[in-house]
C-alpha cells in the first residue's frame, strides 16, 4: 500500500476501531514517529497515520517552504496543503478508513499544515489538535467550515508562533463557522502536560 501513496508514511491500526484515527504531523526537522508517544497519551488504542513532510530546509523535513522565521511562502502552503489533503483521501481509501473519524495532531510546522488543510480542504480533514500553530495563509477562501472542530494550544511567550498570528487563525476559523477551542499556557514553543490534558478531553467530547 505505502508505495502507492504520495507521502512516505507509516500506518498502524489501533486496538479500538471506534476511536479516532490520528494523523500525526511532525514539526520542522522531525520524523513521522515523533508524535507517536503523544498519540498514545491522547487516545490510547487509536490507529495512527504518520506521513513525512516533503520539503527539505537544510536537510530538515518540513511541510512547506518558508522565506524566513515565521515568514511563509503562501503559494507553497496552498500547494502542499492540497497535496497532503489528496494523500489523506487516498490513505482513507487504501487503508479502508472511510467512515472513521480522523483527527490531525500537529506540532509547530505540523500544526500549521494541519490548520492549512482544515481551512482549505474540509473535504479531507475536519478535525485538528494543533499545538503551537499560527495563521498559515493570510486570506483563506470563505469555505463553510461549519462541520470543522479545531483545538489550538499556544504558549503566551512563544516567539515562533506569536499570539497575534494565532488570534488571526482563530478569527479566520470562526468567521467560517468552525468550532474552535482555544487553550493558552504561560510557556513558549512546546506542548505542556496541561495542553495534553486539554486535548485529550477535547478529543473525547
> In the prediction, which pLDDT does 1 show?
57
> In the prediction, which pLDDT does 161 show?
96
Q: Which three cell numbers stand for residue 55?
A: 520539503
Please indicate, yes or no, if residue 190 is contained in any of the structural domains.
yes
Rounded distance between C-alpha atoms, residue 59 and residue 146, angstroms: 38
Residue with cell 494543533: 130
Please indicate, yes or no, if residue 25 is contained in any of the structural domains.
yes
Please indicate, yes or no, if residue 126 is contained in any of the structural domains.
yes
Boundaries of domain holding 176:
9-204
Count structural domains, the chain. Answer: 1
Q: Looking at the annotation, which residues are catalytic?
A: 108, 158, 189
Please indicate, yes or no, if residue 177 is contained in any of the structural domains.
yes
CATH of the domain at 36: 3.40.50.1820
Please indicate, yes or no, if residue 2 is contained in any of the structural domains.
no
Q: What is the pLDDT of residues 67-120, one digit of tens each?
A: 988 899 999 999 999 999 999 999 999 999 999 999 999 999 999 999 999 999
Please indicate, yes or no, if residue 4 is contained in any of the structural domains.
no
Rounded distance between C-alpha atoms, residue 205 and residue 202, angstroms: 5
Would you report the helix, strand and coil content of the chain in percent, each value rounded to 5? 35, 25, 40
Please indicate, yes or no, if residue 1 is contained in any of the structural domains.
no
pTM here is 0.96
Please indicate, yes or no, if residue 3 is contained in any of the structural domains.
no
Amino acid at each position: 500500500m505505502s508505495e502507492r501513496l504520495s507521502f512516505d508514511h507509516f500506518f498502524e491500526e489501533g486496538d479500538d476501531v471506534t476511536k479516532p484515527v490520528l494523523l500525526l504531523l511532525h514539526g520542522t526537522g522531525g520524523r513521522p514517529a515523533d508524535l507517536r508517544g503523544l498519540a498514545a497519551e491522547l487516545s490510547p488504542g487509536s490507529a495512527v497515520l504518520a506521513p513525512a513532510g516533503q520539503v527539505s530546509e537544510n536537510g530538515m523535513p518540513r511541510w512547506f517552504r518558508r522565506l524566513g522565521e515565521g515568514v511563509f511562502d503562501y503559494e507553497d502552503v496552498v500547494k502542499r496543503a492540497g497535496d497532503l489533503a489528496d494523500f489523506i483521501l487516498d490513505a482513507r481509501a487504501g487503508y479502508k478508513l472511510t467512515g472513521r473519524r480522523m483527527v490531525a495532531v500537529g506540532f509547530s510546522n505540523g500544526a500549521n499544515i494541519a490548520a492549512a488543510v482544515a481551512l482549505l480542504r474540509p473535504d479531507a480533514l475536519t478535525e485538528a489538535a494543533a499545538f503551537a500553530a499560527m495563521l498559515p495563509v493570510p486570506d483563506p477562501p470563505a469555505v463553510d467550515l461549519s462541520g470543522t472542530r479545531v483545538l489550538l494550544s499556544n504558549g503566551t511567550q512563544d516567539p515562533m508562533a506569536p499570539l497575534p498570528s494565532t488570534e488571526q487563525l482563530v478569527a479566520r476559523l470562526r468567521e467560517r463557522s468552525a468550532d474552535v477551542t482555544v487553550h493558552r499556557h504561560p510557556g513558549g514553543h512546546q506542548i505542556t502536560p496541561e495542553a495534553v490534558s486539554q486535548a485529550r478531553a477535547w478529543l473525547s467530547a
